[in-house]
Chain A
Amino acid sequence: MGKEKMLKLLGKFLAFMLACTILSRSSASMTTAVVQTASPQRTALSHTVSATGKVAENRVQAVQVEAGHKISRISVQEGDRVEPGDVLLQLDVRALDHKISSARREIEKIKWEIEDMESARRIQEEKKELLLARAQEDYAAAAEKGDQDAARAADELNEAINRLNQYYADLNSRQEIQGESGGIEEQEQGLAEAVKTAQAAYDDALLARQEGLLNAQRAWEDALAEKPADSTDRMREADMKEKQIQLRKLEKLRKKEGKIVSPIKGTVTKLNAAPGESTTEAAPVLLADLSSGCRLIAQVGKEEEKYLEKDMPVTVSSELKKKKEENLKIHSIEVSAEDPSLLEICVYLPADLLEIGDSAEMTAEKKSKTYSTCIPLQALHEANGMKFVYVLGEKETVLGKQLTAMKHSVNVQEQNEQYAALADGSLAVDEKVIQDSSKAIDEGSPVRLEGS
């Protein structure tokens, strides 16, 4: 090949290299990550906790109706707002009338029963008094009879003794005179026997007296004995009182023509009744009391607990209702009973702000202390549990001074949705952290500043 051809080839080669130079530069500029940087700044981090919740009643009032009343009509539905005096239920008036007359009859019956019992008690008492009087009389009679029998027996005994003594006296005198003794012994024996018999009769009379007195005294004591307590009449009286109360209630209901009305301004939250059925022990209507305001119950993750505290100001807003209220306070923070990983935040709302069942958003903001090195959160990266940022560095390369990304481990003290606060001295004041990059970058990756 000729020299000229070689030189031409050399020229072409240089032209080709020039073209490739331009191409490779364009390619490099396209592949180099374009980054946005930010300088660390001194600021306090604000933590905003937002949660959507439902408005619930502050207090629920049960509208109680006696069990067993037949419901003819229900005038409200769940969710209805009611004013004091609004009819909630209509009871069956005929059934009510029937109940009233039944109650009256019952009362009448009980009244009669009580009167009967009163009369029986009176008779019983009279009988008892009579028995007592008779026992007293029997006792006195027994004592008198005993005394008479004893006195008579004593007289007979004395007479027998006197006769015997008389005999002995007679006998002594006769013996002195006659000295005879036959036939005398038989008389003495008879007299002694008489004394003995009289003595026995006297003893019997005393015994009989004592026994008669004892019997009479027992009968008296029996008459005096208390009868067992009997509360039947009192119970019946109590029954009657109860029936009377029931009757008054029924009459009161009847007077209202069987209408059950709302006692408060509220919202019907639950209906436990159906037309045609009878009322039960459970309250047929539950009302949310609107006069005492309502509350917003919102749930947040437990990890937000550190940013929330009781009485801290919150803002409650509802986009749907276009309402917003600031400076409300957190009333309570409790662990959710349904899910222990959640917290239930309760905020009391003023009356008429929102209605029960409305959805609303609660926003609470807590400011931290001021940190000297705060960087945008998107500048913070994490790998293998280590947090780091990419700072903008300069490297001497063949292409001249080239901006590069340099990995810098950091210690994050606190962070919110926007910023991360780093430990003092983590970054120099003039260092710039890469907060956004058009491509994935790594340690030493060449980068280009946006707009350069």
Chain B
Amino acid sequence: MWKKLKMIPLAVLVFVCVYPFCFLAAGSLMGKGEIQECLLAVMGDAGGYAHFPWLPRYPTCQSYVEILLDSPEFFVMFWNSVKLTAGVLAGQFLFGILAAWGFAKGTFPFRKILFTFYILLMMMPFQVFMLSDYLLLDGLHMLDTHRGIVLLCIFSPFPVFIMYRFFHQVPQALVEAARLDGASQWQVFWHIGLPGGSSGILSALVLSFLEYWSLLEQPMTFLKSKKLWPLSLYLPNIGLEDAQAAFAASVIALIPAVLVFLAGQDYLEKGIMAAAVKE
């Protein structure tokens, strides 16, 4: 009984968390007129408060049909998002793992100080590096290209930090034993590091996916051509006239994130825990 009573505040919390999704799903099934009527207060000049019903009065899949069959620009952005996210994840997989392994098990001088500086960078908000990033990309002639965005994001310290925690947990004795047995650095990394830190790698990639799928600042700053914009910039460009499309687009944009989340839920939890545990 006590357990059941304890569930009540949790249920309320769940409802609060899930409500935006319900709101989104209901909105995506509303007709143009109905959604405009609901949002006119905030998106038009009518004043007052927006109201939002739980269920649409006249449910319709028109918004989905419009988005999926009649909005090629949505797909351009969708595939831009896919391209950016995939590029960043691949890059992070390539460079982040090695960096994290190096920091965790490397034996070079100033390793700890370097790592601390590196992690310090993680604390810096995007605005701090915006100008330097811009100048860098300009120097490399990578402004207004996907490559530029990918290049900047590949070297994000956050996944390195996550993976570092997992690599760090690989027993040092195991590494030493392998080295004594004559294993090279690469063999140690390949046969001991990678299997040992796989869950960290995956959790870092899942977290990165969720972050870069909704990447907003970098594309907004470094991409001028609209044709290079990712999906995260589609929604801010939608007005009251296309509000119902915004809801449907949001639901569709949500699907890969939800699938990736569900697929990597375990790793995600581990990664979050790893980030939370003090060294």
Contacts and interface: CB of A to CB of B under 8 A. Distances in A.
Interface of A: 1, 3, 6-7, 9-10, 13-14, 17, 20-21, 23-25, 27-28, 31, 396-400
Q: Is the interface of B mostly helix, strand, loop or mixed?
A: helix
A28 to B, nearest CB: 5
Contacts of A398: 73, 76-77, 226-227, 229, 234
Given A20-B75, A398-B229, A399-B227, A28 B263 contact: no
Contacts of A399: 72-73, 76, 227
Interface in B62-93: 68-79, 82
Contacts of A20: 68-69, 75
B8 interface: no
Nearest to A5: B263
A9 B257 CA distance: 12
Nearest to A3: B263
28 contacts: A3-B263, A6-B262, A6-B263, A7-B259, A9-B259, A10-B256, A10-B260, A10-B263, A13-B255, A20-B68, A20-B69, A21-B75, A21-B78, A23-B69, A24-B68, A24-B69, A24-B71, A24-B75, A27-B69, A27-B70, A27-B72, A28-B70, A397-B226, A397-B227, A398-B77, A398-B227, A398-B229, A399-B72
A21 B73 CA distance: 9
B38 to A, nearest CB: 27
B259 A21 contact: no
A1 B262 contact: yes
Contacts of B262: 1, 3, 6
Given A7-B263, A20-B69, A24-B71, A14 B82 contact: yes
A17 B78 contact: yes
A10 B227 contact: no
Contact of A397 (B73, B75, B255, B259): B73
Given A7-B263, A10-B259, 15 more contacts: A3-B262, A3-B266, A10-B256, A13-B256, A20-B68, A23-B68, A23-B69, A24-B68, A27-B70, A27-B72, A31-B70, A396-B226, A398-B77, A398-B227, A399-B72
A443 to B, nearest CB: 15
Contact of A24 (B70, B229, B234, B256): B70
Contacts of A3: 262-264, 266
Nearest to B266: A3
B106 to A, nearest CB: 31
A398 B229 CA distance: 7
A20 B76 CA distance: 11
B225 interface: yes
Contacts of B260: 6, 10
A24 B263 contact: no
Interface of B: 68-79, 82, 225-227, 229, 234, 255-256, 259-260, 262-264, 266
Contacts of B70: 24, 27-28, 31
A27 B66 CA distance: 11
B69 to A, nearest CB: 5
B225 A396 contact: yes
Contacts of B73: 397-399
Contacts of A397: 73, 226-227
Contacts of B256: 10, 13-14
A3 B202 CA distance: 12
Nearest to A28: B72
Scoring B71, B77, B234 by chain A CB atoms within 10 A of each residue's CB, the highest score goes to: B71
10 pairs of A and B residues whose beta carbons are closest in the complex: A6-B263, A398-B73, A21-B75, A10-B259, A400-B227, A20-B68, A24-B72, A3-B263, A28-B72, A398-B226
A23 B78 CA distance: 15
A17 B226 contact: no
Nearest to B73: A398
A20 B74 CA distance: 10
A24 to B, nearest CB: 5
Nearest to B261: A6
Nearest to A24: B72
Nearest to B77: A398
B207 to A, nearest CB: 16
Contact of B259 (A13, A17, A400): A13
A21 B264 contact: no
B257 to A, nearest CB: 10
A330 B193 CA distance: 104
Contact of B72 (A1, A6, A7, A21): A21
B16 to A, nearest CB: 25
Contacts of A21: 72, 75, 78-79
Contacts of B77: 398
A148 B60 CA distance: 161
Contacts of A31: 70
A24 B72 CA distance: 5
Scoring A9, A24, A397 by chain B CB atoms within 10 A of each residue's CB, the highest score goes to: A24
A31 B144 CA distance: 30
Contacts of B266: 3
Nearest to A21: B75
Contacts of B79: 17, 21
Contacts of A27: 69-70, 72
A28 B71 CA distance: 8
B109 to A, nearest CB: 41
A94 to B, nearest CB: 99
Contacts of A396: 225-227
A400 B76 CA distance: 10
A10 B76 CA distance: 18
Nearest to A29: B72
Scoring B72, B74, B255 by chain A CB atoms within 10 A of each residue's CB, the highest score goes to: B72
Nearest to B78: A17
Scoring B70, B74, B82, B262 by chain A CB atoms within 10 A of each residue's CB, the highest score goes to: B262
A51 B260 CA distance: 77
A13 B258 CA distance: 12
Contacts of A6: 259-260, 262-263
Contacts of A17: 75, 78-79
B93 to A, nearest CB: 16
A400 B74 CA distance: 13
Nearest to B237: A398
Contacts of B227: 396-400
Contacts of A23: 68-69
Contacts of B226: 396-398
Nearest to B229: A398
A414 B206 CA distance: 69
A25 B225 contact: no
A9 B262 CA distance: 11
